[in-house]
Structure 1
């Protein structure tokens, strides 16, 4: 899946620095101020360090945050980014695209940067920075909600379908789609595009049983794009 590929690249850089500096997981955990389990998540690729934990991890590994997160530049290259300020959380921005049409195949996913969000806004929204990622919309089937090239914020901790919300999902061909879910009175669901041209973008009914088999990546909780 798209996120495991991303995390593996991050974990490789963490392990490489630990090996070079001869730092154990216990020593790294103590330096960063986290549990040994958190370090295990970073080195196994099951989770990413974000925000202030990323800053502390980079300091402990004697490298800059940008290289550690994206692999760009060199470990000792100077990096000053105001988005790492304590008032902001830097959310990983992926090269991944989700289609508002028939699906988008992402052959390769990588972190291409970060997008800063105010921490107090995230708290008000009930969102955790470490459970968020930023991706791109492709296509016009969700116009006017989403237009081609829009940026979307995805909460990957929210995988349970809720009626009226828009989600990032994998379709049957493992392509990424952005669609709204509508619960029917019968108990079934409709996978819907916001575009009102239903000749081009028809509703896709699915049974309650079928919905349980849908691979939901996460809920789309914010979008940004041109006016």
Structure 2
């Protein structure tokens, strides 16, 4: 299996450029050491670094993150069709987990491949590829809407709380939770779990002032999981 590091090296060698030159194209100081660590899989590039690498190598983000050749094909008529970067967007998937339960600490986050979404669907939904990422969900507090082990698609531009929407929220102690926000008629908000067991997953009232202090990382705009 080709790793991300070996793929970066392969694409760089195909262009016959050095690690130093690739680092310079990305605009990085000490670029040679950085590229060297990436190619040896000693470090995992963050999303902005992946975009810079893809641009510097003259490839799409899909080409950079996917193994080549792609094993994903769709049968159309009498021939096999391979999804292209023109029709599909590869949204990076982070190793971070959002807890549908009592909170999940993520001290270290890496990018591990991603999920592919049709570009026309993203357009219909009003979503922009560069503002999206995918994470796993752990816990049972959002069942039956979102289950343990599901993946969710986050739009990081949607950080203003809206009534009855589901968000990824980072609590002051650093825990990452996936919850629904409910606006109270009497004022303030509720951080609510969809699970009906309120003894285990009680509502958490929060004032209008306090909700401005919590860190909303993005709104959950799609989820998928096993049946």
Question: Quick check: TM above 0.5?
Answer: yes
Alignment of 1:31-180 (within 5 A): 47=48, 56-59=55-58, 65-66=64-65, 79-81=68-70, 82=82, 84-180=84-180
CA contact (8 A) 1:66 1:79 kept: no
- What SS does the aligned partner of 2:105 have? coil
1:118-177 Cα offsets, whole Å, 9 max, x none, are: 000000000001000000000000000111100000001110000010000111211100
* Matches of 2:150 and 2:26, distance apart in 1: 39
> Which secondary structure does the structure 2 equivalent of 1:152 belong to?
strand
Please give the alpha-carbon distance, in whole angstroms, between the structure 2 residues aligned to 1:123 and 1:177: 27
Q: Which runs of 4+ in 1 moved over 4 A?
A: 21-26, 53-56
Taking a change above 3 Å as real, the CA distance of residues 85 and 158 of structure 1, as seen in their structure-2 partners, is same
Query: In 2, Cα distance between the equivalents of 1:120 and 1:91?
Result: 14
Task: Give the Cα–Cα distance (whole angstroms) in 1 for the partners of residues 165 and 48 of structure 2.
Answer: 25
Deviation at 1:108, TM superposition (A): 1.6
**Which has the higher Rg, Structure 1 or Structure 2?**
2
Hey, which of these two has a bigger chunk of strand by percent?
Answer: 2
Is the CA contact 2:25–2:56 (under 8 Å) kept in the aligned structure 1? no
C-alpha distance in structure 2 between counterparts of 1:176 and 1:190, whole Å: 17
Residues in 1 aligned to 2:179 and 2:87: alpha-carbon distance in whole angstroms = 32
Does structure 2 conserve the Cα–Cα contact (< 8 Å) formed by 1:83 and 1:90?
A: no
> CA-to-partner distance for each residue in 1:74-114, whole Å, 9 max, x for gaps?
xxxx7333555310000001111000111001122111111
Structure holding more helix per residue: 1
Unaligned runs of 5+ in 1: 1-13, 27-44, 68-77
> So what's the TM-score if we normalise by structure 2?
0.71
Q: 1:205 to 1:106 in 2, by over 3 A?
A: same
Distance verdict in 2 for CA 1:129–1:54, change over 3 Å: farther
TM-score, with structure 1 as normaliser: 0.71
Count of aligned pairs between the two proteins? 183
What secondary structure does 1:143 align onto? Answer: coil
- Provide the C-alpha distance between the structure 2 equivalents of 1:102 and 1:48, rounded to a whole number of angstroms: 32
CA distance in 1, matches of 2:86, 2:116: 11
